């Protein structure tokens, strides 16, 4: 009996051992670290992706969010949207400039300062946070002669606003505010090691696993005065990838793609109006035009440039229906100047390529040449429509009484008049057209035959 009991206890222990190991493993893996990756220029698509990713992290009850940065900067509006998400996040956010060779320049520096914990991988750098997308001069930056540039009032105003913003972030997170101001006013930059020494960042970590081990046990302050002690040593790392909406937005908000969408939309509508019933050009053109207009809505544009582009497109559309060449040339000039002025942004990743503008202008010039060629051929060729085109045509007499009747020509029944008397079935020649009546006469070559009959 004792032997049976011992055997049962041993069996239960064997069964319980894997279960306990699985439970322990599950307990170790309860902590979740989600990674949001910002690669490339920061724009509306990036802000949309980050906002959706923070919502996903909240639903999955993540322990921390790792905001991995590798960016040359971007639009100030999108940067502020991302910082607002970081500041309002109920989940601690770790800013991490990685992998080695990456950088967090311009807008990336502001975002890194906003995170609860700032970290960098070896071989990375940050800084150069001057708001260059505003254009104009920046106070404190020397020109090629070595002298300071003139201090423009608007530039000084925006620069001072940027300084106040990044200093407020530095004071909130307890980081070096003086160097932050230097990064804005003098476009200063730091390597990972120097940033750690200057107390710009909190730590340097070679990878995300080491990063989570180093931040384990740290206490961070969350919105509402709450604090949280991080337990990230054995956290499971999982990436959050952008959804299809963010990927689509990333494509169409490229200024070059937006311009191409506008062109395709305009050409599609022109072809649909020229050849009604084709359907496909109209549908494709409408979709592309709406996508292009949406991109213009979320991008900072110069409205004078947009107006010039619209005037140019309107002139080219008129040229397609009423060829004059002059309107077409004026349309091309207005379009090129408008396209060059359209995106008045100097932020990295949001430049309009001169190649795209040149190709678009070449397409419009090709349209003008095609219209001009058709116009030249039409003027040199025989008249195909109107009263002049009816002269000399052969018509068949349907009925005749005295000096008027009806004839059939060009597949239609016409009223006709003439000085001669004709018989039904006789072939006559159209001499002229008066209103909707054909003036007919005997065919010269058939005069003798007609008299003999």
Per-residue pLDDT for 208 more than 80? Answer: yes
Q: Point out which residues pair with 32 in neighbouring strands.
A: 236
Comparing 99-103, 184-188, 243-247, the range with the smallest average pLDDT is: 243-247
Per-residue pLDDT for 146 more than 60? Answer: no
Comparing 3-7, 151-155, 417-421, the range with the smallest average pLDDT is: 3-7
Q: Alpha carbon of 65 to those of 43, 235, 245, 299: distances in Å?
A: 20, 11, 21, 28
Is 157 assigned a catalytic role? yes
For the residues 93-100, what does the mean pLDDT come to?
Answer: 95
Q: How many CB atoms lie within 10 A of CB 102?
A: 20
| Distance separating alpha carbons of residues 21 and 29, to the nearest angstrom | 12
**Res 237: pLDDT:** 94
Comparing 209-213, 263-267, 397-401, the range with the smallest average pLDDT is: 263-267
**Res 438: pLDDT:** 84
**Res 165: pLDDT:** 94
What are the pLDDT digits (tens) for 335-362? 778 877 776 555 666 667 777 777 777 7
| Distance separating alpha carbons of residues 442 and 257, to the nearest angstrom | 65
Q: What confidence category does residue 135 fall into, taking pLDDT thresholds of 50, 70 and 90? A: very low
Per-residue pLDDT for 99 more than 60? Answer: yes
330-346 burial, b if ≥16 CB within 10 A, otherwise e? bbbebbbbbbbbbbbbe
CB-CB contact of 177 with 170 (8 Å): yes
What are the pLDDT digits (tens) for 292-330? 888 877 777 777 887 888 888 788 777 766 767 677 778
* Phi, psi for 184 (deg, rounded to 5): -80, -50
What are the pLDDT digits (tens) for 39-61? 988 988 899 999 999 999 999 99
Per-residue pLDDT for 291 more than 70? Answer: yes
Q: Point out which residues pair with 342 in neighbouring strands.
A: none
| Distance separating alpha carbons of residues 311 and 179, to the nearest angstrom | 48
Comparing 90-94, 112-116, 140-144, 278-282, the range with the smallest average pLDDT is: 140-144
**Res 453: pLDDT:** 37
Is 145 assigned a catalytic role? no
Per-residue pLDDT for 271 more than 50? Answer: yes
For the residues 359-379, what does the mean pLDDT come to?
Answer: 69
- Determine which one of 31, 106, 182, 246 is catalytic: 106
- Structure tokens, 199: 């107390």
CB-CB contact of 254 with 292 (8 Å): no
Identical topology for domains 14-242 and 387-452: no
Q: Which fold has domain 14-242?
A: 2-enoyl-CoA Hydratase; Chain A, domain 1 (3.90.226)
**Res 359: pLDDT:** 77
* Phi, psi for 279 (deg, rounded to 5): 70, -60
**Res 372: pLDDT:** 66
**Res 350: pLDDT:** 66
Per-residue pLDDT for 433 more than 70? Answer: yes
Per-residue pLDDT for 15 more than 50? Answer: no
Polymer length in residues for the chain: 453
* Phi, psi for 345 (deg, rounded to 5): -130, 130
CATH of domain 387-452: 2.40.50.140
**Res 344: pLDDT:** 59
| Distance separating alpha carbons of residues 433 and 220, to the nearest angstrom | 93
- Determine which one of 23, 29, 151, 157 is catalytic: 157
For the residues 91-104, what does the mean pLDDT come to?
Answer: 94
In sequence order, the 6+-apart residues with CB closer than 8 A to the CB of 179 are 188, 190, 198, 200
Question: 349: phi > 0 → left, psi -120 to 50 → alpha, else beta; which?
Answer: left
Comparing 77-81, 148-152, 267-271, 400-404, the range with the smallest average pLDDT is: 148-152
Per-residue pLDDT for 452 more than 50? Answer: no
Query: What value does the mean pLDDT of the chain take?
Result: 80
* Phi, psi for 112 (deg, rounded to 5): -65, -40
Q: What does R_g of the chain's alpha carbons equal in angstroms?
A: 38
Comparing 42-56, 77-91, 119-133, the range with the smallest average pLDDT is: 119-133
Question: 217: phi > 0 → left, psi -120 to 50 → alpha, else beta; which?
Answer: left
**Res 121: pLDDT:** 96
Ranked by mean pLDDT, the top range of 156-165, 169-178, 335-344 is 169-178
Cα angle 17, 18, 20 (rounded to 5 degrees) comes to: 65
Question: What are the domain boundaries of the chain?
Answer: 14-242, 253-380, 387-452
For the residues 361-375, what does the mean pLDDT come to?
Answer: 70
Per-residue pLDDT for 382 more than 60? Answer: no
Higher per-residue confidence, 240 vs 138 = 240
Comparing 73-87, 112-126, 423-437, the range with the smallest average pLDDT is: 423-437
């Amino acid at each position: 009996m004792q032997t049976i009991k011992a055997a049962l206890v041993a069996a239960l222990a064997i069964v319980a051992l894997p279960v306990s190991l699985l439970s322990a493993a599950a307990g170790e893996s309860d902590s979740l670290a989600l990674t949001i990756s910002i690669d490339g220029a920061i724009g509306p698509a990036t802000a949309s992706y980050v906002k959706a990713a923070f919502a996903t992290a909240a639903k999955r009850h993540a322990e921390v969010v790792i905001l991995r940065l590798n960016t040359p900067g971007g639009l100030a509006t999108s940067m502020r949207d991302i910082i607002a998400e970081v500041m309002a996040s109920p989940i601690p956010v770790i800013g991490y400039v990685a992998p080695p060779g990456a950088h967090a320049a311009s807008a990336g520096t502001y975002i890194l300062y906003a995170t609860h914990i700032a970290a960098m991988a070896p071989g990375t750098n940050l800084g150069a946070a001057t708001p260059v997308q505003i254009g104009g001069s920046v106070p404190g930056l020397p020109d090629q002669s070595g002298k300071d540039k003139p201090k423009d009032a608007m530039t000084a105003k925006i620069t001072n606003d940027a300084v106040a913003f990044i200093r407020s972030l530095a004071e909130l997170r307890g980081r070096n505010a003086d160097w932050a101001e230097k990064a804005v006013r003098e476009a200063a930059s730091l390597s990972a090691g120097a940033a750690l020494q200057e107390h710009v960042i909190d730590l340097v970590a070679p990878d995300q696993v080491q990063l989570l081990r180093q931040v384990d046990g740290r206490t961070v302050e969350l919105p509402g005065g709450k604090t949280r002690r991080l337990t990230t040593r054995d956290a499971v790392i999982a990436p959050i990838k952008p959804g299809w909406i963010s990927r689509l937005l990333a494509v169409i908000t490229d200024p070059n793609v937006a311009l191409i969408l506008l062109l395709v939309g305009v050409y599609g509508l022109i072809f649909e109006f020229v050849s009604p019933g084709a359907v496909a050009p109209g549908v494709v053109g409408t979709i592309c035009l709406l996508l292009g207009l949406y991109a213009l809505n979320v991008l900072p544009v110069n409205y004078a440039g947009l107006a010039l582009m619209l005037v140019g497109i309107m002139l080219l559309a008129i040229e397609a229906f009423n060829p004059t060449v002059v309107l077409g040339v004026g349309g091309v000039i207005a379009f090129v100047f408008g396209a060059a002025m359209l995106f008045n942004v100097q932020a990295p990743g949001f430049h309009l390529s001169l190649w795209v503008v040149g190709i678009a202008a070449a397409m419009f010039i090709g349209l003008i040449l095609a219209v001009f060629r058709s116009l030249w051929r039409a003027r040199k060729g025989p008249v195909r429509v109107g009263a002049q085109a009816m002269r000399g045509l052969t018509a068949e007499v349907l009925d005749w009484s005295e000096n008027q009747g009806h004839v059939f020509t060009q597949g239609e029944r016409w009223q006709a008049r003439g000085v001669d008397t004709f018989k039904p079935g006789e072939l006559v020649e159209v001499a002229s057209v008066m209103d909707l009546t054909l003036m007919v006469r005997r065919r010269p070559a058939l005069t003798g035959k007609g008299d003999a009959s």
